[in-house]
Structure 1
Amino acid sequence: MELLIQQLFNGLTIGSVYSLVALGLTLVYGILHIPNFAHGALYMVGAYVTLTMMVQGGFHYLLAIVISILVVGLISVLMERVVFHPLRDSTPIQHKVAAIGVLLFLEALAHYIWGADYQQMPTPYGQVVKVFDLTFTMQRILIVVTAIVVMILLYLFLKKTYTGATIIAMSQNREGAYLVGINANKVAMLTFFIAGALAAIGASLTSPINLVFPSMGHLVILKAFVIIIIGGMGSVPGAILGGYILGFSESLGATYLFSDYKDLIAFVLLVIILTVKPQGIFAKGGV
């Protein structure tokens, strides 16, 4: 029983990170209606910025995360202005090629600045907490709590503010949003900033229990795509639910089935869910 509870908590931890990354991806898809393959590179840059601020800048972990949020958010906005905005009237394949180009550029830049070696991010929250026979680390608890708080704040922002309502309007009906006077450029820039911030938070939270390296975003972004397809393309609730479904499935699957192939669970789950419900859990999509 203790093992099951332990693995459920591990699944909650993994699912929290997956949900944060998938949320940024699904918000961008809701605005542009294209998959942003460069989102994984933003995740990677977020980890490196936090690591650099802590190790070389001497900043506290939490302050380093704030700096990472700002830096990656601005890089994401710059990506939208320089790459995607000029291609707004182009074919979807051109957007995809451009996104892959940004991904390769950011990875090459990371190689040049930080090198190809694996690095470990320090954390002031490495303490171990024991509850009965269960063992948790403060870092994992921080991941779960922070992710849940961020997702609640994002939901309130989207549902309770005028600015959030413009993002929802753009994702549901772009032409209608234009007609009622919504500034599409501002909405796109804000959405990309939020997406970059979510990627930076997810990477900064999980890096102390993993490793930081230039290609660290590859597997995460593949799984994020699986999540938003499972949950429904462009759906915020779907991204959150899909992230936790995948997190629990990987944790329990690696423990009770096969640990060597746990990364395949995402794609097996994708096939199963789409066989039952091809349109995803939240069929209509939209925020």
Structure 2
Amino acid sequence: MELILEQILNGLTLGGVYSLVALGLTLVYGIMHVPNFAHGAFYMVGAFAAFFLMSSFGLNYWVAMAGAGVIVAAIAVLAERLVFHPLRHHEGLHHMIAAIGILLFLEASAQAMFGADFRRMQTPYAGIISMGGVTLPSQRLLIIVAAFALMLALHLFLRKTTTGATIIAMAQNRDGAALVGIDANRVAMMTFAISGVLAAVAATLYAPINLVYPAMGNLVITKAFVIIVLGGMGSVPGAILGGLIIGFAESFGAFYISTDYKDIIAFVLLVVVLSVRPQGLFTTGAR
């Protein structure tokens, strides 16, 4: 039973990180209808930004996380203004190629600045917590609490604030939202900024139990795309549920099958779910 509980906690840890990344991705898709392949690079930049702020300036972990969020949000807004906005009237393929270009540019920039070495981020939460015979690293517990608190905060922001309502309105009907006076450019920039913050927070939470390196976002963004396809493209509840499904599947799959096949499980699940329900688990999008 203790081993099963540990796998549940590990699943919540992975699911929390995956859901945060997928939420940013699905928000952008809901507004722009563009699969932002550069989102994995935003995740990587967030980890490097937090690592740099902590190692070079000696900033507190939480301050570094906030700083990383601001940096990645600024980069995401610049990407929207300089790349995606000029392409808004073009076909989706142009957006995809541009997003891949941003991804390659940011990865090459990170490698030029920091090198290709693997780095480990320090954390003030390096202890072990024991609860009822179940042991869990403090950082993993922090990920679970912080990730789900941020998801709740995002839900309340979207449902209870006027600004959040404009994002939902844009996701439901872009032309209709523009007709009632909603500034599409402002909403697009704000959505990219939120997606950047979510990616940076997820990276900073997960980096201390993982490694920081220029290509760290590639596998994460691949799984994030699996998650939003599973949950339904543009669906916020689907992104959260899909992240948890993948997190639990990987945790129990690694425990009962083999860690060698952990990363393949997400894609097997994708094939199975889409064979049964091609539209994904949710079909109502961000609405």
TM-score by length of 1: 0.99
Q: Distance in 1 between matches of 2:33 and 2:186?
A: 17
**Residues 4-83 of structure 1: pairs in structure 2 closer than 5 A:** 4-83=4-83
TM-superposed CA distance for 1:286, in Å, is 2.6
Match of 2:145 in 1: 145
Counterpart residue type for residue 139 of structure 2:
Q
Aligned length: 287
Counterpart residue type for residue 245 of structure 1:
I
Q: Distance in 2 between matches of 1:265 and 1:103?
A: 25
Counterpart residue type for residue 55 of structure 1:
S
Q: Distance in 2 between matches of 1:260 and 1:176?
A: 49
Any stretches of 5+ residues in structure 1 without a counterpart?
Answer: none
RMSD: 0.7
Q: Distance in 2 between matches of 1:168 and 1:285?
A: 10
Which shows bigger deviation, 49-58 or 126-135?
126-135
Q: Distance in 2 between matches of 1:58 and 1:143?
A: 22
TM-superposed CA distance for 1:178, in Å, is 1.1
Partner secondary structure for residue 269 of structure 1: helix
Q: Distance in 1 between matches of 2:251 and 2:157?
A: 31
Deviations 1:18-43 (CA, angstroms, capped at 9, x unpaired): 00000000000011101000000000
**Residues 1-287 of structure 1: pairs in structure 2 closer than 5 A:** 1-287=1-287
Q: Distance in 2 between matches of 1:150 and 1:167?
A: 17
Deviations 1:49-94 (CA, angstroms, capped at 9, x unpaired): 0001111110010100000000000100000000000111111111
Counterpart residue type for residue 85 of structure 2:
H
TM-superposed CA distance for 1:275, in Å, is 1.1
Partner secondary structure for residue 130 of structure 1: strand
Q: Distance in 2 between matches of 1:105 and 1:153?
A: 32
Partner secondary structure for residue 260 of structure 1: helix
**% identity of equivalent residues:** 60
User: Post-superposition, which runs of at least 4 consecutive aligned residues in structure 1 deviate over 6 A?
Assistant: none
TM-superposed CA distance for 1:175, in Å, is 1.0
Deviations 1:169-215 (CA, angstroms, capped at 9, x unpaired): 11111111111111000000000000000000000000000000000
Counterpart residue type for residue 108 of structure 1:
A
TM-superposed CA distance for 1:284, in Å, is 2.5
Which shows bigger deviation, 276-285 or 53-62?
276-285
Q: Distance in 1 between matches of 2:57 and 2:262?
A: 36
Partner secondary structure for residue 261 of structure 1: helix
TM-superposed CA distance for 1:133, in Å, is 2.0
Any stretches of 5+ residues in structure 2 without a counterpart?
Answer: none
Partner secondary structure for residue 90 of structure 1: coil
Q: Distance in 1 between matches of 2:143 and 2:54?
A: 18
Partner secondary structure for residue 226 of structure 1: helix
Deviations 1:132-162 (CA, angstroms, capped at 9, x unpaired): 3211111111100000110001000000111
Counterpart residue type for residue 31 of structure 1:
I
Counterpart residue type for residue 171 of structure 2:
S
TM-superposed CA distance for 1:276, in Å, is 1.2
Counterpart residue type for residue 204 of structure 1:
T
TM-score by length of 2: 0.99
